[in-house]
């Protein structure tokens, strides 16, 4: 309704009465106007024509004067309310935008366990123009072991001369805030900038006299720092970075514990940081702190896992070395024992061979002497075979076999010999099939060794009990005798090559048997007491339904 020029004048005086809603005959407030409601009312209150119209309509009565004053006051309040509503509208729009950014930040932080990505996403939210728009952001974390605050990451420029180039580069990418976040999440390798390299040189002891950063950690409070001095900063590198620029610091608090802090400034545009900015930063810090804690724990677990993996590798190498050393020691003992074991039958064979040779010249041969030679040769062959079984790498021919059937076949083959030695065999088989992936012939070899050992422990006859069953993912069989049993010293040496308490044994039966069971992924459990017999339980991997 009023002048659009700087000089105010009444539209009625210039033929612009059509713009005045007061003079519209039908009071139409939708009439075309270039002014807002606030501007219209303000101009009306100063308009001479409006004032004249009010005066003409006001009589001398007190009621007319009151109405006039009320009209002026109502119009003034209307202007104030409109201004306040405009301010509230701007504030709400800003808060909605901030909440949208916070929601994007929250969703992004849930998508990664990488500590550096968590920190970079947080600083991107703090510094992005589309988000909260601070010129620079830095994050420092507490090192519990050294009780220091250590720089981790910076986003923005290091020196003012870099600022233009940094922001031009970001602008040239034409990426939205959401796209920036996605780019961070998808990138495997995050490049370090000059600011990050400088920030990582900062390490400040967590003592109050060391400046405002330790104070923020100790007191768990946010601060706006305007007076920049070396004493306030507590670190020369930090002073070089900030260059007297006012800044804000906000601690990262998780479950009452300060993990570190976030530092921001507006070193480019010089925009002051106010209490509303602190509120915003604290909201971001609260969102990020929990995820930073999780990422730190995840990082520690990864480091610990890598350490354990390295230790496991070293242990494996040491184990292989010890096994090799043990095997070499076994080979040394083997060489000595083999020399002794072979020497006896060779002397016997040599002596009897000479006697046979002499008797052949005399035209007669003693059959028993020839049989002795054959028996000693068989003994040499058995020793050689057992040595090869122990020293060479086993080659298993694996098939899906039933354990009960393997034992039944072995017992059938040995039954006549055991009966002759006055030994009774009692079997107690599991009712269901015990399917195992195994080398049938190798397992029979183990059974022969254990049955022979049990029989030899019962010189006056006795009873062997063989049972089978299942426990979890393992099938087991047990061979128990009521023979002479073993003492603890003997049990400790059971699997030592060439250790034997028998006159005719080589001491390789049990070591070979253990090696076969080990190759099948199983184990042997031995129980024994002197004069009360022995019990050998063998556990072999077996899956139900195989």
> Are residue 141 and residue 228 in the same domain, yes or no?
yes
> Are residue 136 and residue 76 in the same domain, yes or no?
no
Task: List Cβ neighbours of 36 (8 Å cut-off, separation of 6 or more).
Answer: 82
Residue 401 covered by a domain: yes
Tell me the two tokens of residue 111.
């998508």
pTM of this prediction exceeds 0.75: no
- Residue 162 buriedness (CB in 10 A; 0-12 / 13-18 / 19+): middle
Among residues 295, 315, 341, which one ends one of the domains? 295
Among residues 295, 323, 352, which one ends one of the domains? 295
Strand, helix or coil at 369?
A: helix
Residue 455 structural domain: 393-541
Residue 319 covered by a domain: no
**Cα 332 → chain centroid:** 47
> Are residue 56 and residue 178 in the same domain, yes or no?
no
Q: Please state at what angle helix 177-186 crosses helix 115-127, rounded to 10 degrees.
A: 170
Among residues 295, 316, 339, which one ends one of the domains? 295
> Are residue 80 and residue 127 in the same domain, yes or no?
no
Residue 441 covered by a domain: yes
Using DSSP bridges, classify how beta strands 247-254 and 223-225 pair: parallel, antiparallel or unpaired. Answer: antiparallel
User: What is the Cα–Cα distance from 455 to 449, expressed in whole angstroms?
Assistant: 10
C-alpha separations of 173 from 135, 167, 176, 195 in Å: 18, 10, 9, 20
User: What is the Cα–Cα distance from 175 to 187, expressed in whole angstroms?
Assistant: 15
Q: Name the CA radius of gyration of the chain, rounded.
A: 48
Residue 254 covered by a domain: yes
> Are residue 96 and residue 116 in the same domain, yes or no?
no
> Are residue 211 and residue 255 in the same domain, yes or no?
yes
Contact 153, 196 (CB under 8 A): yes
> Are residue 94 and residue 117 in the same domain, yes or no?
no
3-state SS string for 263-281: EEECCCCCCCCCHHHHHHH
Residue located via tokens 């805030």: 177
Residue 364 covered by a domain: no
> In terms of Cα–Cα distance, which of 285, 290, 321, 544 is closest to 434?
544
> Are residue 489 and residue 462 in the same domain, yes or no?
yes
> In terms of Cα–Cα distance, which of 201, 216, 207, 205 is closest to 264?
216
> Are residue 402 and residue 273 in the same domain, yes or no?
no
Residue 494 covered by a domain: yes
**Cα 304 → chain centroid:** 9
Predicted confidence at residue 537, as pLDDT, reads 94
Query: For position 440, which CATH number holds?
Result: 3.30.565.10
CA atoms within 13 Å, Cβ hemisphere of 43? 24
Can you give the pLDDT of all 546 residues of the chain as single tens digits? Answer: 444 444 444 444 444 444 454 444 444 445 455 556 556 666 666 667 666 666 665 555 666 666 666 666 776 677 777 778 877 777 777 666 667 777 777 788 888 888 888 899 888 888 876 667 789 999 999 998 899 999 999 988 888 777 666 556 666 666 677 788 888 888 876 677 889 999 999 999 998 888 899 999 999 999 999 887 777 888 889 988 988 889 999 999 998 889 999 999 998 888 899 888 898 889 889 888 988 888 888 877 777 788 778 877 877 777 777 777 766 676 666 666 666 667 667 777 777 777 777 777 666 767 777 777 777 777 777 667 766 666 666 678 889 999 999 999 999 888 888 888 899 999 999 988 889 999 998 899 899 889 988 988 888 889 999 999 998 889 999 999 998 888 888 888 887 776 676 656 667 778 888 888 988 999 999 999 888 889 999 999 986 544
Residue 356 covered by a domain: no
User: What is the Cα–Cα distance from 181 to 176, expressed in whole angstroms?
Assistant: 9
> Are residue 140 and residue 204 in the same domain, yes or no?
yes
C-alpha separations of 465 from 445, 451, 455, 469, 479 in Å: 18, 10, 11, 14, 6
Task: List Cβ neighbours of 496 (8 Å cut-off, separation of 6 or more).
Answer: 507, 511
Question: What is the sign of the dihedral through the CA atoms of 140, 141, 145 and 147?
Answer: positive
DSSP states of 8-21: ---GGGGT-GGG-S
Residue 371 covered by a domain: no
Tell me the two tokens of residue 135.
């010129």
Contact 533, 527 (CB under 8 A): no
Strand, helix or coil at 157?
A: coil
> Are residue 487 and residue 515 in the same domain, yes or no?
yes
> Are residue 38 and residue 89 in the same domain, yes or no?
yes
The number of distinct structural domains making up the chain is 3
Query: For position 174, which CATH number holds?
Result: 3.30.450.40
Contact 155, 134 (CB under 8 A): no
Taking every pair of C-alpha atoms in the chain, what is the biggest distance, in angstroms? 175
Length of the chain: 546
In the DSSP assignment, the letter for residue 402 is E
Phi, psi of 457 (to 5 degrees): -80, -10
> In terms of Cα–Cα distance, which of 141, 87, 133, 452 is closest to 264?
133
Strand, helix or coil at 243?
A: coil
């Amino acid at each position: 309704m009023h002048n659009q020029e700087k000089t105010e004048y009444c539209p009625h005086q210039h033929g612009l009465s059509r713009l005045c809603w007061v003079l519209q005959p039908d009071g139409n407030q939708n009439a075309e106007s270039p002014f807002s409601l606030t501007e219209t009312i303000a101009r009306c209150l100063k308009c001479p024509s409006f004032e004249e119209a009010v005066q003409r309509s006001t009589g001398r009565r007190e009621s007319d004067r009151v109405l006039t004053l009320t009209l002026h006051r109502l119009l003034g309040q209307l202007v104030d309310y409109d201004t306040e509503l405009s301010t509230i509208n701007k504030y709400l729009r800003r808060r909605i935008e901030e909440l949208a950014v916070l929601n994007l930040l929250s969703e992004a932080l849930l998508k990664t366990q990488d500590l550096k990505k968590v920190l970079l996403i947080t600083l991107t939210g703090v510094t992005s123009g589309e988000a909260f728009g601070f010129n620079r952001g830095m994050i420092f974390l507490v090192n519990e072991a050294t009780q220091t605050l250590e720089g981790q990451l910076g986003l923005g420029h290091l020196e003012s001369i870099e600022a233009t180039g940094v922001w031009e580069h970001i602008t040239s990418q034409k990426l939205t805030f959401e796209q920036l976040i996605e780019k961070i999440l998808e990138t495997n390798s995050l490049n370090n900038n000059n600011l990050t390299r400088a920030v990582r040189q900062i390490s400040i002891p967590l003592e109050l006299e060391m400046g405002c950063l330790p104070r923020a950690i100790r007191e768990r409070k946010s601060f706006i720092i305007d007076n920049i001095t070396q004493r306030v900063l507590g670190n020369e590198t930090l002073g070089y970075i900030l260059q007297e620029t006012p800044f804000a610091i906000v601690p990262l608090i998780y479950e009452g514990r300060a993990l570190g802090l976030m530092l921001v400034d507006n070193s480019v545009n010089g925009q002051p940081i106010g209490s509303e900015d602190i509120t915003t930063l604290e909201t971001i810090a609260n969102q990020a702190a929990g995820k930073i804690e999780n990422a730190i724990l995840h990082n520690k677990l990864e480091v610990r896992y890598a350490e354990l993996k390295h230790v496991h590798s070293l242990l494996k190498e040491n184990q292989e070395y010890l096994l090799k050393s043990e095997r070499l020691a076994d080979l040394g003992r083997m060489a000595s024992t083999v020399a002794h074991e072979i020497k006896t039958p060779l002397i016997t064979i040599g002596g009897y061979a000479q006697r046979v040779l002499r008797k052949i010249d005399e035209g007669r041969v003693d059959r028993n002497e020839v049989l002795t030679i054959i028996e000693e040769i068989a003994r040499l062959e058995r020793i050689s075979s057992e040595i090869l079984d122990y020293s060479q790498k086993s080659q298993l021919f694996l098939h899906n076999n039933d354990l009960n059937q393997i034992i039944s076949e072995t017992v059938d083959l040995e039954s006549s010999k055991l009966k002759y030695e006055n030994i009774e065999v009692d079997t107690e088989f599991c009712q269901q099939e015990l399917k195992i992936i195994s080398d049938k012939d190798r397992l029979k070899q183990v059974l022969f060794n254990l049955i022979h050992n049990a029989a030899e422990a019962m010189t006056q006859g006795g009873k062997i009990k063989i049972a089978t069953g299942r426990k979890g993912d393992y099938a087991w069989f047990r061979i128990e005798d009521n023979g002479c049993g073993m003492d603890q010293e003997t049990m400790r040496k059971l699997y030592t090559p060439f250790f034997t308490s028998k006159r005719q044994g080589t001491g390789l039966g049990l070591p070979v048997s253990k090696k076969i069971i080990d190759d099948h992924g199983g184990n042997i459990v031995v129980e024994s007491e002197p004069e009360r017999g022995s019990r050998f339980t063998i556990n072999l991997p077996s899956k139900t339904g195989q």
